[in-house]
């Protein structure tokens, strides 16, 4: 079994214009293989998949691992495009990337923001999604849902969201973005013993000029403290209905996930196609693909056979 940390880099990254972005991405595997799109979260980057990608490539898949807007080498084509982080726009970015790469259909897999993005594509554009692997299950939200208070202990886990709601929080994240990200890694994966080199390799992605704006907008939008772009209103209205996901799906959860997450029983009914849930044991936290690459890659292979 491959342990995490076996691989330290991807082949040379590629760039392509896609929608409003110039997207930086890693690619592995045969160019004519079935496509898997691997989507990272916050505060993480493409290196969450540095061990997953070769496993899938060796199994015959064409693996695409993009930097999301505001991360790494992904940049905006225009200085006038709003630095928008609302949930629907990241999914639209993914469709635009698939279009640019002439990929009609792909397996989508992700965690954190990446899982939410994959959920949205699967729910709204099922013709583009062959199957889904989603860490922590069903993550589609809405501004309305964001207005509902949680019990105090649950609210405590979202402390950074409330910090980001303030200008002090924006300034603090900008000033201490590496320290902030490392703290989130430690809280979200309390048993993951990552080294400094592993963290710094990913933290470089947060030096993107648009990173702070995208992150702050994302969390403020969730609370209704920032507006989205009107052209995505119809899409957000559909997402606010919490649409079922019909494509074959495997959801995953680490047994030591320190980030906010629901029990699988709370969302299993949202997956109306062939579905299964797996708990990955061994002290696995929030960054599941990097902490348990073998289990994550196996889920992709298995859901492809559903």
pLDDT single digits (tens) 246-279: 999 999 999 999 999 999 999 999 999 999 999 9
DSSP code, position 277: E
Give the CA radius of gyration of the chain.
18
Domains in the chain: boundaries: 14-304
Alpha helices (runs of H) in the chain, residue ranges in sequence order = 52-58, 87-100, 113-124, 152-157, 159-164, 167-175, 177-188, 196-203, 211-222, 233-240, 288-291, 293-304
* Banded pLDDT at 86 (limits 50, 70, 90): very high
* Banded pLDDT at 1 (limits 50, 70, 90): very low
First CA to last CA across the chain, in angstroms?
24
Instruction: Give the helix, strand, coil percentages of the chain, each rounded to 5.
Output: 45, 15, 40
Q: Residue 28 above 70 pLDDT?
A: yes
163 token code pair:
């910090």
Residue 28 bridge partners (DSSP): 63
* Banded pLDDT at 5 (limits 50, 70, 90): low
Mean pLDDT of 28-54: 98
Nearest to 81 by CA among 73, 72, 93, 91: 93
Mean pLDDT of 216-233: 97
Q: Residue 2 above 50 pLDDT?
A: no
Question: What's the pTM?
Answer: 0.97
Assigned CATH for 14-304: 3.40.50.1820
CA atoms within a 13 Å half-sphere pointing along the CA-CB vector of 81: 16
Tell me the per-residue pLDDT of 131-187, one tens digit each, with 9 for 90 and over.
Answer: 999 999 999 999 999 999 999 999 999 999 999 999 999 999 999 999 999 999 999
């Amino acid at each position: 079994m491959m342990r995490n940390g076996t691989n330290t880099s991807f082949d040379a990254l590629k760039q392509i214009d896609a929608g409003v972005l110039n997207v930086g991405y890693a690619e592995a595997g045969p160019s004519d293989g079935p496509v898997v799109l691997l989507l990272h979260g916050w505060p993480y980057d493409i290196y969450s998949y540095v061990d997953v990608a070769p496993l899938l490539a060796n199994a015959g898949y064409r693996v695409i691992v993009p930097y999301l807007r505001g991360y790494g080498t992904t940049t905006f084509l225009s200085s006038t495009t709003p630095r928008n982080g609302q949930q629907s726009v990241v999914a639209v970015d993914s469709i635009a990337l698939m279009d640019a790469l002439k990929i009609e259909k792909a397996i989508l897999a992700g965690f954190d923001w990446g899982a939410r993005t994959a959920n949205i594509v699967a729910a709204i554009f099922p013709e583009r999604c062959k199957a889904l692997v989603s860490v922590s299950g069903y993550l589609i939200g809405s501004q309305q849902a964001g207005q509902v208070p949680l019990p105090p202990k649950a609210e405590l886990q979202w402390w950074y969201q409330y910090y980001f709601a303030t200008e002090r929080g924006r300034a603090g994240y900008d000033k201490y973005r590496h320290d902030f990200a490392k703290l989130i890694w430690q809280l979200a994966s309390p048993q993951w013993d990552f080294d400094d080199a592993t963290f710094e390799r990913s933290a470089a992605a947060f030096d993107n000029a648009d990173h702070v704006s995208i992150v702050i907008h994302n969390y403020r939008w969730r609370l209704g403290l920032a507006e989205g772009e009107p052209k995505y209103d119809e899409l957000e209205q559909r997402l606010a209905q919490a649409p079922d996901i019909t494509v074959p799906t495997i959801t995953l959860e680490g047994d030591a996930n320190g980030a906010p997450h629901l029990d699988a029983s709370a969302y299993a009914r949202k997956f109306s196609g062939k579905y299964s849930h797996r708990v990955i044991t061994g002290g696995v936290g929030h960054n599941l693909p990097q902490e348990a690459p073998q289990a994550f890659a196996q889920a992709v292979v298995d859901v492809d056979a559903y």
